[in-house]
Amino acid sequence: MNAPTPIPLVVVGGYLGAGKTTLLNRLLANAQGCRIAVLVNDFGAVNIDAALVRARSDDVIELENGCICCSIGSRLAEALVAIAARAQRPDLLVIEASGVSDPRRIAQVGLLDPAFRLNAVLVAVDATGLHQGLRDPLVGDMVRRQVEGASVLALTKADLAGAEAVARAGATAAALAPHATVLTARAGELPLSVFLDAGLVPARGGAALAGARGWQRGAAGAGHAGIRSVAYQTARSFDKARLRQALATLPVRLLRAKGLVRLAADPRLHEVHLVGGKMRLGPAGHADFDGSALVFIGAFDAGAEARLRACMEAALA
């Protein structure tokens, strides 16, 4: 009878580059006094997303290296136990899943602990690239199942897609997840109530989560087949023009690249994002990071790491 009130839990998923970290940072910037803890998983040895989120919050727990539900399930459970045991518990826990993991499976892990109450499985959907992702023979099934497992679908990059493309992406996502709430996250912003309102998990949520178990046994392994990450770290700075050129001409089958880098001509830390052929390189705000690090995710063969390393070495100042 004296058990504390369960901590609201939201799992944020979505394919590589869909805008999950942007959603998190906007949430933290508009927390309205709500104490939010964030668990960040990244597909790679360097947790770039955690560094970007930490610029907004002191309560960030990192879980690196791969699919949170496959590689580090025990570490996730340990982190949840530690959070629940705190003297001052958070008002909300958000788990950012890696772009190649199944958010439903992560929600299952969270439901094992009665200290947490699942509020939503929120999946970011890139309005500019959803249909291309669904058609991709390598990752299409992964993208589809991420969308199908959502209780909330957040359409991102609406400003880039335009109204017609956003409507089309929304219709496709809603058809894949007919019981989900579909919202448009303009500039990555959603109302705080989306994260705190327990009513966003549909009544059939338990069945939907149970359905994730079959995918975990079958397609999760297949989803990772041929997909791996390569990390490049250096204490040196990059030449900006050569870095842009190197990233634009990488000789690998790349799905996503992201990083935090130092530039020779600018002492500020810079974010690098490359997805769907689009590149963004700009100041990283207050992210705390030493040196430079980039993570490349793709369908890499045995020689990919050497080729990527050579490209990055050639781009150094």
Residues 181 and 37 in one domain: yes
- Residue after which a domain boundary falls, among 223, 257, 286: 223
Residues 171 and 242 in one domain: no
pLDDT at residue 54, as a whole number: 46
Residues 188 and 290 in one domain: no
Residues 200 and 240 in one domain: no
The CATH number that applies at residue 174 is 3.40.50.300
- Residue after which a domain boundary falls, among 202, 223, 244: 223
Cβ proximity of 146 and 102 under 8 Å: yes
pLDDT at residue 29, as a whole number: 83
Residues 259 and 281 in one domain: yes
On whether residue 35 sits in a domain, the answer given is yes
On whether residue 1 sits in a domain, the answer given is no
On whether residue 273 sits in a domain, the answer given is yes
The CATH number that applies at residue 291 is 3.30.1220.10
pLDDT at residue 51, as a whole number: 57
Domain count, the chain: 2
On whether residue 219 sits in a domain, the answer given is yes
Cβ proximity of 250 and 272 under 8 Å: no
Residues 87 and 117 in one domain: yes
On whether residue 249 sits in a domain, the answer given is yes
Segments in the chain below pLDDT 70: 1-3, 42-74, 198-226, 286-288
Q: Any idea how long the chain is?
A: 317
Give CB contacts under 8 A, 24+ apart, made by 246-251: 246/311, 246/312, 246/314, 246/315, 247/272, 247/274, 247/279, 248/279, 249/311, 250/296, 250/307, 250/308, 250/311, 251/307, 251/311
Residues 42 and 86 in one domain: yes
Residues 40 and 83 in one domain: yes
Residues 142 and 58 in one domain: yes
Residues 105 and 201 in one domain: yes
Rounded Cα gap, residues 92 and 176, in angstroms: 28
- Residue after which a domain boundary falls, among 174, 204, 223: 223
On whether residue 40 sits in a domain, the answer given is yes
Residues 26 and 171 in one domain: yes
On whether residue 217 sits in a domain, the answer given is yes
Range of the domain at 156: 7-223
- Calculate the alpha carbon distances from 129 to 67, 136, 203, 230, 299 in Å: 22, 11, 30, 23, 18
Residues 86 and 191 in one domain: yes
pLDDT at residue 73, as a whole number: 55
Classified as helix, coil or strand, 282 is strand
pLDDT at residue 213, as a whole number: 34
Predicted TM-score of the model (pTM): 0.71
On whether residue 2 sits in a domain, the answer given is no
Rounded Cα gap, residues 96 and 21, in angstroms: 8
